[in-house]
Structure 1
Amino acid sequence: MRLRHRDGTVVHLAYCANVHPADDFPGILDRLHRYAIPVRRRLGVPRLSVGLWLPRPVAAALAADPGALDKLRAALSEGGLEVVTLNGFPYAGFGKEVVKTDVYLPDWADPDRLAYTLDLAAVLAALLPDDVVRGSVSTLPLGWAPWWDAERQDRARRHLDELAAGLADLERRTGRTIRVGLEPEPGCVVETTADAARLLNGVDTARLGVCLDTCHLAVEFEDPGEALARLDAAGLPVVKTQASAALHASDPSAARKALETFAEPRYLHQTRAHTAEGVLRADDLPDALNDGLPAHGPWRVHFHLPLHADPPAPLSSTRTVLGAALDALLGGPAARTDHVEVETYTWTVLPGDRPDLVDGIAAELGWTRDRLLGLGLTEENA
């Protein structure tokens, strides 16, 4: 969907296709027909943005095959779909039975991560609609912190410089601007916006910036306004925003049984406790429940919740943080981002009864659209 900000900026609202991952090109086409097109129809809009996730082999094949790219572009057009952003965080295997920390491999110290991201940029440049100003790719925040050291940091920084040079060359060759946003995430090298300001100092900000995930922001107990001020002071653009909400327990002791139902084995659910001593950390929800965090003070869990619905009491959602972030980004006189992507990839591991996936995605997009309209944006129906 496209909305227009009061300053004239076209803001693209998409959903991330990692919620129904596919490992090959036919599978990606199948998911578009099975999910994306029905979501568009359910919303009653003529055009829907989809944030594709392309695993490494598919990205490489598409980047080398103009015919396959034409086929994908035609399928998108015929279905009333468009692509302005890609999720380049998971490299491959996001549909595996156990993902956990594998999602951080390869990291930015590895040249394979650079090659993958440049392939994604080339694919996106070919898929962008003719009237779209620029595209975005989100990527991991350097790597998983426990594996990091100074040598890896040096290699990663060189790769980011090579990435910026490659994106500039791509623009010279194609006339399309593609930016890459590193996505601060709990437990990673770039964990917070403060880390982003410090570790991304000096990067080419015409090409590189931040993907602001509002679930991650909430888990770290960051205030959206302060976070954006921090990024502004560092000169880091918000290349993309992932609209997401985390799990919140005001009283972890009273909510223990409810929390246990979210301790599932596929994805990593970093957990943070807000205490008088500061924010305390556990790498995964089972670790936190196994005496890894104090039970006094609220907990927040990296478990992406449906944006439009609350979890069972006594748990709640950090939807208020999401709302405050959208307000800070798009409620003022100037748009501070132009790509908003709903990224609830956890539908298949939610405890209890789950709605049909098409219904769920459509409801999330509808909630987000209504929130943006409430901030004064207007919907572009053409």
Structure 2
Amino acid sequence: MRFRHPDGSTVHLSYCTNMHPAEDLVGIIAQLHAYAGPVRRLLGWPLLGVGLWLPAPVARLLASDARALGLLRSALREEQLEVVTLNGFPYRAFQAEVVKGAVYRPDWLEPERLEYTVDLARVLHQLLPADAVEGSISTLPFGWRTRFPEGTASVDEPMRQVADELRSMAEDFGRPVRLAVEPEPGCVVETMDAGVRAVSRLAVPEWIGMCLDACHLATQFEDEGVLDLCDAEKVSVFKAQVSNALRVNESDRDWLREFAEPRFMHQIRQRDGYGEDDLTERIGDSLDPQQEWRVHYHLPLDQTERTTQPELRNTLCALVGGPSARTHHLDVETYTWSVLPGADRPQSAQALTKGIAGELDWTADRLTELGLEPLR
């Protein structure tokens, strides 16, 4: 859905499709018909944004095969969907039985990551609505920290190469697609603070900026004040992922065992910055039970119990509640529906559709409260 910001610009709201397990074009088109279209109809919206996730082989196919791209465009048109942003973080198999650390490979030290991102940019240029000002692609924050003993300088060359590719494509297509680096706990760039400084050093601000993931921000005990650093370093937030982290502040924390699961990494941080790389049955053996913990576990946005929803509200206010929009791409990214504990896990396609619609409706209400006007 689109919103008119008081500054006159358009803010796009979408939901990210990386929650769906499709690994080929047929499956991706099927998921648009099975979920995205029904979500739009349930909400009664004339247009629904989808933040597409395309596995690397599909991105390569779409970038090189006009017929395949036409099939995808036809499905989007049929379901009244639009695409202004792609999730370029997972490379492939994001809903495999076990993902964990595999989601960080290939990283920006490997040529496959550059090739994948260029393919995504070429595809997005051809999917953008005719009246869209720009497109965005979120990407991993260079890679997992153990791969970068010398810090982030080793990715300067490939990042500048991708900036050159983005610049060239913008000249060909007449408008920009930009790359947004997404900090995540445990990576070489795990905070927005570190990400802004690393991206600023690249000195290509028109092409490479930040993706602010609200769950990651809250997990690291950062807050919306990082936007002041963005201003100081002249780094743009090209995209924000609207997401909710798990908050743990009870003295009895045995209930956390319900959230330990084998598919995804769920990093834990305590308020003083110390943390563990994954939530397991050990439930944070090395952490201080007297401190608040936050867990990288994307929970439904309309869920209030044990979540960082108050921080999310503050983040949305800082991003789009002021006199000018700090970002124009808001992508709801709750990819953990399939691993939620107990009764919170949808047991049918209809239940998942209802859950996605509930999150989008919650977000749309927040945007309206902040003074944005739904464009119907």
TM range (shorter): over 0.9
Q: Which residue of 2 aligns with 1:264?
A: 261
**Structure 1 unmatched runs, 5+:** none
Counterpart residue type for residue 334 of structure 1: S
Counterpart CA distance in 1 for 2:52 and 2:375 is: 22
Asked if the contact 1:62/1:68 (under 8 Å) is kept, the reply is yes
Are 1:244 and 2:238 an aligned pair?
A: no
Number of equivalences:
370
Per-residue displacement from partner, 1:43-85 (whole Å, max 9, x unpaired)? 0011000000000000001000111112211110111101110
Q: Which residue of 1 aligns with 2:296?
A: 302
Asked if the contact 1:62/1:123 (under 8 Å) is kept, the reply is yes
Counterpart secondary structure, 2:327: coil
Q: Which residue of 1 aligns with 2:192?
A: 193
Residue 290 of structure 1, CA deviation = 4.6
Counterpart CA distance in 2 for 1:324 and 1:206 is: 27
Are 1:367 and 2:357 an aligned pair?
A: no
Counterpart CA distance in 2 for 1:262 and 1:297 is: 19
Asked if the contact 2:276/2:284 (under 8 Å) is kept, the reply is no
Counterpart residue type for residue 14 of structure 1: S
**Structure 2 unmatched runs, 5+:** none
Asked if the contact 1:139/1:180 (under 8 Å) is kept, the reply is yes
Counterpart CA distance in 2 for 1:12 and 1:64 is: 27
Counterpart residue type for residue 234 of structure 1: E
Counterpart CA distance in 1 for 2:67 and 2:25 is: 13
Asked if the contact 1:21/1:53 (under 8 Å) is kept, the reply is no
Are 1:162 and 2:144 an aligned pair?
A: no
Per-residue displacement from partner, 1:275-331 (whole Å, max 9, x unpaired)? xxx2111001128615121111100000000001234xxxx1101111001100111
Counterpart CA distance in 1 for 2:315 and 2:281 is: 29
Counterpart secondary structure, 1:125: helix
Measured on the aligned residues, the alpha-carbon RMSD in Å equals: 1.2
Q: 40-49 or 199-208, which moves further after superposition?
A: 199-208
Structure 1 runs (4+) greater than 6 angstroms displaced: none
Counterpart residue type for residue 102 of structure 2: D
Asked if the contact 1:17/1:53 (under 8 Å) is kept, the reply is yes
Counterpart secondary structure, 1:325: helix
Are 1:346 and 2:336 an aligned pair?
A: yes
Q: Which residue of 1 aligns with 2:66?
A: 66
Residue 137 of structure 1, CA deviation = 0.3
Q: Which residue of 2 aligns with 1:292?
A: 286
Counterpart CA distance in 2 for 1:233 and 1:22 is: 41
Counterpart CA distance in 1 for 2:245 and 2:105 is: 23
Residue 257 of structure 1, CA deviation = 2.1
Residue 263 of structure 1, CA deviation = 0.8
TM-score, length-scaled by structure 2? 0.96
TM-score, length-scaled by structure 1? 0.95
Alignment of 1:326-337 (within 5 A): 326-337=316-327
Alignment of 1:132-281 (within 5 A): 132-150=132-150, 153-203=152-202, 204-224=204-224, 226-251=225-250, 253-254=251-252, 256-274=253-271, 278-281=272-275
Q: Which residue of 1 aligns with 2:307?
A: 317
Asked if the contact 2:85/2:136 (under 8 Å) is kept, the reply is yes
Asked if the contact 1:248/1:300 (under 8 Å) is kept, the reply is yes
Asked if the contact 1:193/1:230 (under 8 Å) is kept, the reply is no
Counterpart residue type for residue 293 of structure 2: W
In percent, how many aligned pairs have the same letter?
52
